[in-house]
Amino acid sequence: MRPPGDKSISHRALMLGALAVGETRVSGLLEGEDVLRTANAMRLLGATVKRDESGLWRINGVGVGGFGEPADIIDVGNSGTSARLLSGLLATSGFVSFMTGDASLRRRPMRRVIEPLNQFGAQFLTRDGMRLPMAVIGTNSPVPIRYVTPVPSAQVKSAVLLAGLNTMGETTLVEREATRDHSEIMLAHFGATLRHEQSDEGLAITIVGQPDLVARDIEVPGDPSSAAFAVVAACIASEGEVLVKHVGVNPSRTGLYTTLREMGAAISWRNERLVGGEKVADLVVTSGAKLKGVEVPAARAPSMIDEYPILAVAAAHAQGTTIMRGLAELKVKESDRLAAIAAGLSANGVKVEVGADSLTVHGTGGRIEGGGTVQTHLDHRIAMSFLVMGMGARQPVTVDDIEMVDTSFPGFVALMNGLGARIAPAAS
Ligand code: S3P
């Protein structure tokens, strides 16, 4: 299989392409709802974004500082990445804009980006609890900041660095725990100057403001977070082999693969190469290995933050107990994923315990019972994870909704069925 394009990288390609001078051509862009929302936001801000018949995306950018006032509300749907990263771009653009999202996103916290972006001089008018919809009053004369982020979040880091793009001087973001570094890699690819320094407070990343970004060609690697569903399906299957081609293996994203190997899974990668500064490889997963429970350290959480739902499915099939720590951030994803995972596993006969920021899964060491219905709470990864769980269950597993799967993985059902799953509408 070839997984769809990386969601994080796709958002960033559209945003930086929209700020570069000249035509940026992007191949392998994820054409999922979330990314299409970012494409539309870039159009509203003045960039030309088009897809040609061959599937290549062509973006004609406006240059750093060249965005214009959007004529309508920017609706980013289910996409937290669009909302947070765009907030950074809008904060240092000297006009007022309005942003909203779907019911899931309107519940999610924006304070984490508003606090640092206020320091640049931007103002935000929000609903109670700093939630969307909100108005962004961008500043014409931003001041550069140095910000030590209290949350391990690539979205917060990226919002600050992107706000720093249109700010004269040097903006520094310090992170205590390393999060995905796609923004830094791509900013450098487009010609921005960045510096990395280890300080007592953590890794300090500095961007030099108001660079001339130059249009680039970008090849988006497959999304390791989407590949994860086929990989875990192969891990819990009794026989067979799955080859996942052209998937991103940036070390800030591969925590799930490390964990599955520790559990005993037979996963290897080959043809490792560098594409636009990003590591890419082909993965081979051989079924039939006995999985065992492991302890997943909190320090690994940022490198597999979106993979806990599907890891929980692997853990449910393993022999013994799996303990996952450092999961506080899971509560503010597309749903409260900690609660959603626990409820979905319990509904299908798997014993779990939820702590303040941990999850313990008691593996069955073989097939799980299944037969339950899982509430997805508008969360694509909950839906996909539990559909995969059905592949290893005695009774079918039902999810209440799959519409939002298209936000990150269009074609998921057809692709998994092609690998041998039997996913079909439930008889009503
Ligand atoms: C993302 C960062 C992560 C991740 C999300 C995509 C990004 O969110 O969960 O799916 O593209 O920067 P946080 O920054 O909230 O951890």
**Is 428 within the bounds of a domain?**
no
Say yes or no: 48 and 104 in one domain: yes
Beta-sheet pairing, 278-286 with 241-248? antiparallel
Strand partners, 27: 219
Say yes or no: 166 and 234 in one domain: no
Rg (CA), the chain: 21
Q: What is the 3-state secondary structure (H, E, C) of 78-104?
A: CCHHHHHHHHHHHHCCCCEEEEECCCC
Query: Which ligand 1 atom sits closest to the C-alpha of 306?
Result: 9
For 190, other C-beta atoms within 10 Å of its C-beta total 24
Chain position carrying tokens 């998937």 = 247
401 an active-site residue?
A: no
Instruction: Report CA 98 to chain centroid distance, whole Å.
Output: 23
Ligand 1 centre to CA of 301 (Å) is: 12
For 237, other C-beta atoms within 10 Å of its C-beta total 20
Q: Which pLDDT does position 250 carry in this prediction?
A: 98
pLDDT tens for each residue of 367-401: 999 999 999 999 999 999 999 999 999 999 999 99
Q: What angle do CA 362, 237, 351 make, to 5 degrees?
A: 15
Say yes or no: 143 and 211 in one domain: yes
Strand partners, 24: 59
Q: Last residue of some domain: 194, 219, 244? A: 219
Q: What is the 3-state secondary structure (H, E, C) of 324-338?
A: EECCHHHHHCCCCHH
Say yes or no: 269 and 351 in one domain: yes
Ligand 1 centre to CA of 12 (Å) is: 12
**The pLDDT of residue 278 is above 80:** yes
**The pLDDT of residue 428 is above 80:** no
- Among 34, 153, 176, say which to mutate for ligand 1: greatest number of ligand atoms within 8 Å of CB: 153
Instruction: Take atom 5 of ligand 1 and give the residue whose Cα is closest.
Output: 81
Return d(Cα 99, Cα 79) in angstroms, integer.
12
**What is the domain extent for residue 320?**
224-418
Say yes or no: 242 and 384 in one domain: yes
Q: Last residue of some domain: 191, 219, 247? A: 219
Give the domain CATH number at 159: 3.65.10.10
Say yes or no: 124 and 205 in one domain: yes
For residue 133, say if its preceding peptide bond is cis, omega within 30 degrees of 0: yes
| Residue 395 dihedral angles phi and psi, to the nearest 5° | -105, 150
Q: Which pLDDT does position 427 carry in this prediction?
A: 81
Question: What token pair was written down for 317?
Answer: 């099939």
Say yes or no: 127 and 73 in one domain: yes
Say yes or no: 246 and 207 in one domain: no
Helix axes 182-189, 154-165, angle to 10 degrees: 30
DSSP secondary structure code for residue 214 in this structure: B
What is the count of structural domains for the chain? Answer: 2
Q: Which pLDDT does position 246 carry in this prediction?
A: 98
Return d(Cα 151, Cα 175) in angstroms, integer.
8
Query: Which ligand 1 atom sits closest to the C-alpha of 152?
Result: 16
pLDDT tens for each residue of 147-197: 999 999 999 999 999 999 999 999 999 999 999 999 999 999 999 999 999
Q: Which pLDDT does position 64 carry in this prediction?
A: 98
Q: Which residues neighbour 256 within 8 Å (Cβ) at sequence distance 6 or greater? A: 224, 228, 231, 304, 307, 310, 311
Computed from CA positions of residues 50, 56, 57, 58, in that sequence, does the dihedral angle turn out positive or negative? negative
Report the half-sphere exposure of 170 (CA within 13 A, side-chain side): 9
Return d(Cα 393, Cα 374) in angstroms, integer.
14
What number is the average pLDDT over the span 87-116? 98
Return d(Cα 112, Cα 109) in angstroms, integer.
7
**Is 199 within the bounds of a domain?**
yes
Which alpha helices (H) appear in 20-64, and where do they start and end? 33-44
For 407, other C-beta atoms within 10 Å of its C-beta total 25
Return d(Cα 49, Cα 41) in angstroms, integer.
10
**Is 423 within the bounds of a domain?**
no
Ligand 1 centre to CA of 157 (Å) is: 10
Return d(Cα 17, Cα 49) in angstroms, integer.
9
pLDDT tens for each residue of 199-232: 999 999 999 999 999 999 999 999 999 999 999 9
Cβ atoms 127, 134 nearer than 8 A:
yes
3-state SS, residue 310: helix
Ligand 1 centre to CA of 78 (Å) is: 13
Say yes or no: 207 and 329 in one domain: no
Say yes or no: 244 and 211 in one domain: no
Q: Which residues neighbour 109 within 8 Å (Cβ) at sequence distance 6 or greater? A: 129, 130, 131, 332
**Is 424 within the bounds of a domain?**
no
**The pLDDT of residue 10 is above 90:** yes
Share of the chain above pLDDT 70, in %: 100
User: Which H/E stretch holds residue 12?
Assistant: helix 7-19
pLDDT tens for each residue of 352-367: 999 999 999 999 999 9
**Is 308 within the bounds of a domain?**
yes
Q: Last residue of some domain: 219, 251, 277? A: 219
Q: Which pLDDT does position 307 carry in this prediction?
A: 98
Say yes or no: 200 and 248 in one domain: no
Q: What is the mean pLDDT of the chain?
A: 97
Residues in contact with ligand 1 by the CB-under-6-Å rule are: 8, 81, 153-155, 158, 180, 305-306, 329
What number is the average pLDDT over the span 313-333? 98
Say yes or no: 179 and 261 in one domain: no
**Is 248 within the bounds of a domain?**
yes
